[in-house]
Amino acid sequence: MSKVLACVDGSEISDRVLAKAVDRVKSEGGELVVLYVVEDFCPVGLTEIDCDMVRDFMRKEAKVIIDQALEKVRAMGVEAKGVIREGRPADEIVAFAKDEGIDEIFIGSHGRHGAKKVLLGSVSSRVVEYAACPVTVIK
Ligand SMILES: Nc1ncnc2c1ncn2[C@@H]1O[C@H](COP(=O)(O)OP(=O)(O)OP(=O)(O)O)[C@@H](O)[C@H]1O
Ligand SMILES: [Mg+2]
C-alpha cells in the first residue's frame, strides 16, 4: 500500500497541500500521514529557562496545527495519522520519509514566511533536493 506524506506548517498553503494529498489518496488508495516539525530554535540571548518556555509554546502550537490539519482531512472524508517531530524541518521531513518508506511527499512552494520573491521556501527547496522519493510541490 502506498504511503503519502503531507507536510504542513499552519500556513494557508498547507490547506492546499492537504487537499491535494487527500485527492491522491482518494484516487490511488493508500495511507496519509500529516507531519509538522517543531523547529529546535532558541533565539540568541535567551536563558535556558526562557528557551524552555519557547519550546513549550512551540510544542503546544504544533499540536494545534496537527489537530486542525487532521480535522480538515477528516472533513474531506479521509483518516490520516498526525506526526510531530522536532529538529530542522527539512532534515526531519527527509529522514522521516526515508524511515517510514513514504512514496510521495506533498509540500507547499511557500509557507508561513512566504517571501514570494523566492521561487521556493528554504524547507521546500531542501526537501526537493534531498528527498529520496518523488516530491509534489503545491503552489
Ligand atoms: N516546520 C515545518 N514542518 C512541516 N512542514 C513544513 C514546515 N515548514 C515548512 N514546511 C513545508 O514546506 C512548505 C514551504 O515552506 P518554507 O518554510 O520552505 O517556506 P517559507 O515559510 O515561505 O519561507 P522560509 O524559507 O523563510 O521559511 C510549507 O508549505 C510546508 O508544506
Ligand atoms: Mg517556513
Pair type for strands 31-39 and 80-87: parallel
37 Cβ inside 6 Å of ligand 1: yes
φ/ψ of residue 5, rounded to 5? -115, 125
Q: What is the pLDDT of residues 20-62, one digit of tens each?
A: 999 999 999 999 999 999 998 887 888 888 889 999 999 999 9
Q: What is the CATH number of the domain that holds 12?
A: 3.40.50.620
Q: What is the pLDDT of residues 74-132, one digit of tens each?
A: 999 999 999 999 999 999 999 999 999 999 999 999 999 877 777 899 999 999 999 99
pLDDT at residue 139 in the model: 92
Q: What is the H or E stretch that residue 134 is in?
A: none
DSSP bridge partners of 106: 6, 136
Q: Which residue type does 10 have?
A: G
> Ligand 1 test: best mutation among 123, 136, 138, most atoms within 8 Å of CB?
123
Q: Which of 82, 69, 78 is nearest to 15 (CA)?
A: 69
pTM surpassing 0.75? yes
Confidence grade of residue 5 (pLDDT, cut at 50, 70, 90): very high
Q: Which domain holds residue 7?
A: 3-138
35 Cβ inside 6 Å of ligand 1: yes
Determine the Cα–Cα distance for residues 103 and 111; give it in Å rounded to an integer.
Answer: 22
Number of domains forming the structure of the chain: 1
The C-alpha cell at 90 is 527539512
